[in-house]
Structure formats: C-alpha cells, structure tokens
C-alpha cells in the first residue's frame, strides 16, 4: 500500500471511530482475559476464575482500577505485569486516539508535528501522524519514569525495601497513576501512606498531568507565559481543572476534618495532605488514602460529582470531561446574559460543539441512572453506595466503597460493561458526532416552545 493509500485508510478509520476504538479495546480485553486465566498469572498457580480474569482485564484496559480480587495477593508477579501492560496499552491508546482526534477536529493545537486535517481537503500527512504518536509515547514514558524514580527512592530510603522491590513498586504505581488506573499493590490502596507526601504528591501529580492530556501539556510548556494565546481546549481544561481541585479539596477536607474514621485520626498537616489527595483522586485515578466507606455522605456526593466530570478530553482520565462541563457552563452563562453567541475568551463556540457537550452529559446521566437502578436489584447496599460504584465504573475512576467485590456475578458483569462503555463510549460518541456532521440543505419553519 502506498503512503497516500495508507493515509486514506487511517483517515477512513477516523471516519468510523466507534467500530475501530471499540474493536481495539475489546480485543485487548479478550487477550488480557486469556493471559490472566493462565496458571502463571495467579499466586497459587491455579487457573483464575474466568469472571475475575475478565473483570480485571476490563478494569486494566479501561484504566479504571476496580477489582473483584486483591491485586497483590491474588495475582502472581507475572499476573501483575500483565495487568500493568494492559494499563499501559489502554492508557497510551486512549491518549493517542484522543490526541489524534483533537488535532483532526481542531487543526490548531500548535503542535510541532502538526497534521493537515482541514475539513475542506480531508487530507492528513502520514509523517506528521507518526511523529505525533511518537511524541505522545515519549511524553507518557517520560512522566512515568520521573514518577517511578521518585517513588522507588522513597520506598527504598523510607521503608527499607530492597532496590529491586522498590523499583518494581515505583514503576507499577507510576504507570498506574499516570494512566489514571488506580491499581495498587496493597489491600488498602494507599491508606498506609496517607501522611507521606513523598508518596502521595508524586502520585497525585502524575494523575493530574495524565488527566490533562498531551495537547494541553504541550501547549502549556510552549506558551505558559501567554495565556491569551491558549486554545479553547487548553483554556477550559486548565481553568476547570484548577477549580475542581480547589473545590474538591476544600469541601472534602471540611466535611472530614473531625471524622475520626478518616481525617480526624491524623495531625493537622497530614489532614491537609490527605484532604488534597482525596480531592484529586476522583479525577479518575482510583487511589485512596482514606477509607471510602467511612466518608461522610456529603463527601460521597462531592466525590460522585468529581468522578462524573472526570479529567481532560485528551488525557487518560474518564468521566464526561472537564471541557464538556466548561462548554455547558458557558452556554448557561450566555443564556443568562441574554446573548445569542457562546464565546470563550476570543473564540466563539460553534453550535455543533454545544450540542455534542449536551449529548455527552445527558447520555452519561442516563447511563449512570439506568446502571444504578439495575445494581440496586442485585445488592442490599444503600443507594448512595451503589450510586458511587456506578459512577466510579462509568467514569473509570476506580474508587470503591466495597460494593463491587460483594456483587453477584451478573452484577460484576454489569460493572464491567459499564467500565467498557464509560471508557470507549464518550470518545467514540464525541468523534462520531464531530466527524459525521451533516449539512441540511433546507430549513424548517421555526417554532418556539415553553421550556422550564
């Protein structure tokens, strides 16, 4: 196949993103299930239960972190390496696809490896495509290596772990953090490190950077001194990310400050650290330094909202994305001001983008509501805990109040399906809406109806 033919094939794949993305993720899950079902993957050397293998593979590929068995005790070192490879493949695949989609749609992210994907010509430079994928991979690996080095040094110097074990722990948790997966090698996740800033802060930083995404980070590095030149994607992602981090930290810290089962058992400085970590993780990370089941109901509600929103559109985080929330917020603000056009900074948002944001948000709400209803039929747990689990699965957050492991098999299959839809669905839905807009050559008579 010639280069031009290959470029057309790549572009054709983007014209039908739902089939391509869904098939790729399904294949990875199937391969992961087969590997985790083998005797070498379990600690006792016996073949793993097929449902446990399928659930774990789905959670890893969809970079969620929910589990039906303990990662450290149930899986052998080889099984853990398989999980780590699935997390890396899922996270890198998500970031690459989202970045390519962002460039294909917007055509102006200021990337040195810019691809010419203008709507009029429908063309793409194959060399630019290769260079961009290489840059995404290099960015991901660099962030993971830096995080792993810091964690490994801390595990070795602070906890007396042998160098090999410390390096393994550092790499595992660095990859899990940057890809917003949340798999940890301790039964209590990171609760034992709640007061250790050398563990919590590097992991939180990797989670936040991974959730921002390559296009946003690259633009920040290139023009952080000139915020007026930022694209709408970067402007919305950075602004709303900061607001959510601040609001999440303040509200959860305030609600849990005197709770003896969470922050109340820590010193003042440690409470601030644990409050920040707990407020940052609902971006889709899945790690926890506090017992989720012991959180105050108000903290669970705030965490629900943060998980549902998620992270950046071209990052490894899940949820409906901060850009979706930003677009809807500007739509509401424009309506309240009585204006006819939605403007963000010096740019006007097209009507298609507004419709896409509304569709993603409403479909997400519908899916979470339907899944919560079905899960209520399978478990005696309270509504707030079941809702928490459903949102965590849809948003690929991985935080758990202990409901998932106690579900019946059909309930766990539903959670796995929700993770798959939540991971693949928003990306394919947005790409399908953005890349398959149709121009109507006639207009119907306008009629206004009562709203509200």
pLDDT tens string 386-395: 999 999 999 9
Which residue(s) pair with 75 in the sheet?
Answer: 42
User: Dihedral through CA 237, CA 426, CA 283, CA 364, nearest 10?
Assistant: 110
The pLDDT tens digits for 145-198 are 999 999 999 999 999 999 999 999 999 999 999 999 999 999 999 999 999 999
- Retrieve residue 207's tokens: 């989670």
End-to-end, the C-alpha distance of the chain in Å comes to 56
What phi, psi does 207 have (nearest 5°)? -65, -45
Q: What angle do CA 132, 96, 226 make, to 5 degrees?
A: 60
- How far is it, in rounded angstroms, from Cα 376 to Cα 371? 9
Q: Where are the alpha helices (DSSP H) in 62-194?
A: 71-74, 77-106, 126-159, 163-178
pLDDT grade for 435, boundaries at 50, 70 and 90:
low
pLDDT, tens digit (0-9, with 9 covering 90-100), for 344-376: 877 888 887 888 889 889 989 999 999 999 999
Q: How many angstroms separate the CA atoms of 201 and 112, rounded?
A: 31
**Greatest mean pLDDT range, 300-304, 339-343, 347-351:** 300-304
pLDDT attached to residue 126:
45
Helix (H) or strand (E) holding 267: none
- For residues 431 and 359, what is the distance between their CA atoms, to the nearest angstrom? 12
Length of the chain: 452
> CA angle, 421 as apex, 418 and 427 as ends, to 5°?
145
pLDDT tens track for 312-330: 887 888 899 999 999 999 9
Per-residue pLDDT, averaged over 288-302, amounts to 94
- Please state, for a pLDDT cut of 90, what percent of the chain lies above it: 58
For residues 208, 213, 214, 216, the Cα torsion angle rounded to the nearest 10 degrees is: -90
Cα 197 to the center of its chain, rounded Å = 23
Residue 263 is given by DSSP the state G
Distance from C-alpha of 255 to C-alpha of 263, rounded to nearest angstrom: 9
3-state secondary structure (DSSP) of residue 42: strand
Dihedral sign, Cα of residue 14, residue 17, residue 23, residue 28: positive
CA neighbor of 61 nearest in space, from 34, 91, 35, 41 = 91
- Residue 330 CA to residue 332 CA, distance in Å, equals 5
The answer on pLDDT for 381 being more than 60 is yes
For residues 214 and 136, is the Cβ–Cβ distance under 8 A? Answer: yes
- On the 0-12 / 13-18 / 19+ scale of CB atoms within 10 A, 410 is exposed
Residue 114's pLDDT band, with cuts at 50, 70 and 90, is very low
Q: What is the pLDDT of residue 154?
A: 97
Alpha helices in 297-408 (DSSP H): 297-309, 322-336, 351-376, 383-394
Read off φ and ψ for residue 79, nearest 5 degrees.
-65, -40
- Asked if 170 contacts 155 with a C-beta cutoff of 8 angstroms, the reply is yes
How high is the pLDDT of residue 83?
A: 97
Q: Please, what's the b/e burial string for 193-211 (b: 16 or more CB within 10 A of its CB; e: otherwise)?
A: bbebeebbebbbbbbbbbb
The lowest-confidence range among 130-139, 148-157, 178-187, 205-214 is: 130-139
Which distant-in-sequence residues (6+ apart) come within 8 Å of 355 by Cβ? Answer: 433
Give kind and range of the element (H or E) at residue 344.
Answer: strand 343-344
The sign of the torsion formed by the CA atoms of 134, 179, 205, 323 equals positive
Position 248 confidence tier, pLDDT thresholds 50, 70, 90? very high
Question: Please, which pLDDT band fits residue 123 given cuts at 50, 70 and 90?
Answer: very low
- Asked whether the beta carbons of 202 and 196 are under 8 A apart, the reply is no
Q: From its phi and psi, is residue 115 left (phi > 0), alpha (psi between -120 and 50) or beta?
A: beta
| Among 36-50, 198-212, 307-321, 342-356, the least confident range | 342-356
- Of 9-13, 24-28, 225-229, the poorest mean pLDDT is in 9-13
The CA distance from 421 to 424, in Å, is 5
Whether the full predicted model's pTM is greater than 0.75, yes or no, is: yes
Lowest mean pLDDT among 25-29, 142-146, 266-270, 302-306: 25-29
Asked whether 186 and 197 are in contact (CB, 8 A), the reply is no
């Amino acid at each position: 196949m010639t280069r031009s033919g290959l470029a057309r094939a790549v572009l054709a794949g983007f014209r039908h993103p739902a089939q391509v993305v869904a098939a790729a993720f399904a294949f990875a899950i199937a391969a992961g299930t087969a590997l985790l079902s083998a005797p070498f993957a379990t600690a006792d050397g016996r073949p793993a239960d097929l449902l446990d293998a399928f659930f774990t593979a789905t959670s890893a590929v969809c970079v969620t972190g929910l589990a039906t068995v303990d990662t450290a005790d149930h899986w052998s070192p080889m099984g853990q390496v398989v999980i780590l490879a699935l997390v890396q493949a899922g996270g890198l695949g998500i970031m690459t696809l989202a970045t390519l989609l962002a460039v294909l749609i917007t055509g102006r992210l200021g990337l040195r490896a810019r691809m010419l994907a203008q709507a009029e010509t429908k063309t793409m430079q194959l060399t630019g495509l290769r260079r961009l994928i290489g840059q995404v991979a290099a960015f991901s690996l660099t962030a993971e290596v830096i995080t792993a080095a810091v964690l490994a040094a801390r595990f070795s110097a602070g906890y007396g772990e042998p160098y090999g074990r410390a390096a393994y722990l550092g790499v595992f948790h660095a990859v899990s953090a940057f890809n917003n997966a949340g798999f940890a090698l301790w039964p209590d996740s990171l609760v034992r490190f709640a007061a250790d800033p050398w563990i919590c802060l590097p992991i939180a930083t990797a989670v936040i950077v991974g959730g921002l995404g390559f296009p946003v980070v690259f633009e920040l590095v290139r023009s952080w001194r000139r915020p007026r030149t930022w694209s709408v994607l970067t402007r919305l992602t950075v602004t709303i990310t900061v607001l959510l981090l601040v609001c999440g930290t303040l509200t959860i810290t305030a609600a849990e400050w005197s709770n003896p089962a969470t922050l109340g058992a820590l010193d003042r400085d440690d409470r601030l650290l644990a409050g920040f970590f707990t407020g940052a993780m609902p971006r889709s990370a899945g790690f926890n330094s506090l017992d989720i089941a012991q959180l105050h109901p108000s903290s669970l509600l705030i965490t629900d909202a943060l998980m549902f929103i998620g992270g950046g559109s071209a990052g490894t985080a899940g949820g409906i994305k901060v850009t979706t929330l930003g677009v809807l917020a500007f739509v509401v603000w424009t309506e309240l001001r009585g204006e006819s056009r939605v403007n963000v900074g010096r740019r006007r948002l097209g009507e298609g983008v507004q419709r896409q944001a509304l569709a993603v948000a409403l479909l997400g709400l519908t899916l979470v509501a339907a899944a919560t209803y079905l899960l209520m039929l399978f478990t005696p747990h309270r509504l707030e805990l079941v809702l928490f689990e459903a949102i965590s699965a849809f948003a690929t957050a991985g935080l758990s109040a202990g409901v998932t492991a106690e579900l019946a098999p059909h309930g766990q299959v539903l959670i796995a399906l929700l993770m798959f839809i939540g991971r693949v669905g928003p990306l394919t839905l947005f790409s399908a809406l953005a890349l398959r807009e149709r121009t109507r050559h006639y207009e119907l008579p306008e009629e206004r109806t009562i709203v509200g």
